[in-house]
């Protein structure tokens, strides 16, 4: 990579500081042109040092800054890197970046710093993906899982499996090269057993795919019900702040309102919806349609009913809509006089939890039940080691298929050349996970999801 890239690596907006990162072979040349200090030029400074000075456009001072000098290969990208810490604010950071671009750098693409770290061997592909998972983590457990992958836990496991598979391939291809030395029954059994151990490893990783999806994306929970049953109050109580507008007037919520809350380390994405009823007006019709869409697309449904009002036909219709979903009938307003009676045919078919969103009664019971439903009763390990993502899952499923087929062929005494092809296919699939056999389009797809400056 012969060009030098630059970008603002902190969020745009007001803040204490903003950081402009410059990486590449001309990073110090760029810094020399725009930075002034009594101690000399950035290109003369020792590595991993911080220096006070000013950023200037000709003789005009743009800002007083601290400039960090980091020389290759001991940097994030393994390239010469300069980081300029200026005062926070949109205008200052953009003016400093503009000077960097005028002085020989180009604007970095999304994720390009991390992409260079991968291409230069600083990170493998799972570690690069973990960087974005770490940034996006919305719970302690998601943060822990991302940190473990960034530390190389997943790539270490994959590399160990690939090494074992390479040993198996070496045995088989040795017999292909010397056909007079047939594989004996004991050696064949050993090779099959070793291959089965790799299959077990792959299947163990595949079993973490659901947990990985939950940690990265959260469990979607739709809060549905008739108007004025307390859906917005329930969301506010679960979030711990006034996220949705609450009034005594039915139909206040006209659109969906989303909020992510961490419960026992699991991110839940709650969606407060418009009250489901016969619509009054175009806006409410759209709101009710979105409520039904949220119900259909959610992982869990909280059907809220009002304990101070009788069970209605509209409530029955919503219960029917939830029949194919994991759902809880949340009986709200437990602090008021009860007039609600669940029909006998439904009493054994729906799970009910009584709460008072305004007083807090029953909310801890509801949270516990949500955690149980998230993992179908199995919350999982509190110490998450690795949890694969959807890209890993696709590659591991292909590896599992090829490994299983290779054992079938081995046992059927099919030609070793065909067995070897299956094993090599599985080796490539394992390599895809960590980036040892990756294509340009896969890399572009992964790094396009990153923010600019990372």
Q: Domain segments of the chain: what residues?
A: 5-108, 127-208+388-447, 215-374
- Nearest-angstrom CA–CA distance, 37 and 52: 7
Per CATH, which fold does 5-108 belong to?
Gyrase A; domain 2 (3.30.1360)
- Nearest-angstrom CA–CA distance, 282 and 290: 13
What pTM did the predictor assign? Answer: 0.78
277 has a pLDDT exceeding 60: no
Scan for tokens 């947990």, then name that residue: 211
- Interhelix angle 231-239/363-374, nearest 10 degrees: 80
381 has a pLDDT exceeding 70: no
Q: Classify 127-208+388-447 by CATH class.
A: mainly alpha
In the prediction, which pLDDT does 410 show? 87
The arithmetic mean of pLDDT across residues 185-206, rounded, is 89
Burial label for 133, CB within 10 Å (0-12, 13-18, 19+), is buried
Q: Closest Cα to residue 254, out of 229, 227, 234?
A: 227
Confidence band for 280, pLDDT divided at 50, 70 and 90? low
List the single range of 33-47, 109-123, 287-301, 351-365 with lowest mean pLDDT: 287-301
**CATH classification of 215-374 is 3.40.50.300, yes or no?**
yes
Q: What is the DSSP string of 194-231?
A: HHHHHHHHHHHHHTTHHHHHHHHH-EEEEEEESTTSSH
Please say whether the beta carbons of 103 and 94 come within 8 A. no
Residue 349 has which token pair?
């078919």
Q: 103-118 b/e with 16+ CB inside 10 Å = b?
A: bbbeebebbbbbbbbb
The arithmetic mean of pLDDT across residues 228-237, rounded, is 88
In the prediction, which pLDDT does 99 show? 97
| 5-108 and 215-374, same CATH topology | no
List all residues 6 or more positions away from 22 whose beta carbon is below 8 Å from its beta carbon: 4, 5, 6, 30, 31, 81, 82, 83, 84, 100, 105
Confidence band for 91, pLDDT divided at 50, 70 and 90? very high
């Amino acid at each position: 990579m012969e060009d030098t890239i630059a970008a603002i690596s902190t969020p745009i907006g007001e803040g204490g500081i903003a950081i402009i990162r410059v990486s590449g072979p001309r990073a110090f040349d760029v810094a020399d042109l725009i930075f002034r200090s009594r101690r000399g030029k950035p290109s003369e400074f020792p590595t991993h040092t911080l220096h006070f000075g000013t950023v200037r456009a000709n003789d005009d001072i743009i800002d007083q800054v601290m400039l960090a000098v980091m020389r290759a290969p001991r940097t994030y990208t393994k390239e010469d890197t300069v980081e300029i810490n200026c005062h926070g604010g949109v205008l200052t950071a953009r003016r400093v970046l503009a000077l960097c671009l005028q002085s020989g750098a180009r604007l970095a693409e999304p994720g390009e710093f991390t992409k260079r770290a991968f291409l230069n061997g600083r990170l493998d592909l799972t570690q690069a993906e973990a960087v974005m998972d770490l940034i996006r983590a919305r719970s302690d457990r998601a943060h822990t899982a991302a940190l473990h992958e960034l530390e190389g836990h997943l790539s270490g496991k994959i590399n160990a499996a690939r090494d074992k598979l390479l040993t198996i391939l070496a045995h088989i291809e040795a017999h292909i090269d010397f056909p007079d030395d047939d594989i004996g029954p004991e050696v064949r059994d050993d090779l099959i057993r070793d291959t089965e151990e790799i299959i077990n490893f792959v299947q163990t990783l595949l079993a973490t795919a659901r947990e990985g999806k939950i940690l990265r994306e959260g469990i979607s929970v739709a809060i549905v019900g008739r108007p004025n049953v307390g859906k917005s109050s329930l969301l506010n109580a679960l979030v711990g702040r006034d996220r949705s507008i609450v009034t005594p007037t039915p139909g206040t919520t006209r659109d969906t309102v989303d909020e992510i809350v961490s419960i026992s380390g699991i991110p839940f994405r709650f969606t407060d919806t418009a009250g489901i009823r016969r619509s009054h007006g175009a806006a409410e019709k759209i709101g009710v349609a979105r409520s039904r869409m949220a119900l259909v697309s959610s992982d869990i449904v909280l059907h809220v009913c009002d304990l101070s009002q009788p069970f209605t036909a509209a409530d029955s219709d919503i219960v029917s809509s939830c029949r194919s979903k994991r759902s809880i009938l949340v009986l709200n307003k437990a602090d008021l006089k009860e007039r609600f009676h669940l029909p006998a045919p439904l009493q054994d078919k729906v799970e009910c939890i009584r709460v008072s969103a305004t007083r807090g009664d029953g909310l801890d019971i509801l949270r516990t039940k949500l955690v149980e439903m998230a993992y179908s009763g199995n919350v999982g390990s509190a110490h998450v080691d690795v949890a694969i993502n959807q890209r890993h899952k696709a590659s591991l499923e292909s590896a599992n298929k090829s490994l299983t087929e290779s054992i079938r062929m081995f046992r059927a005494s099919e030609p070793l050349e065909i067995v070897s092809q299956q094993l090599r296919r599985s080796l490539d699939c394992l390599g895809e996970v960590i980036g040892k056999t990756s294509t340009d389009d896969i890399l572009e797809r992964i790094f396009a999801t990153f923010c600019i400056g990372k």
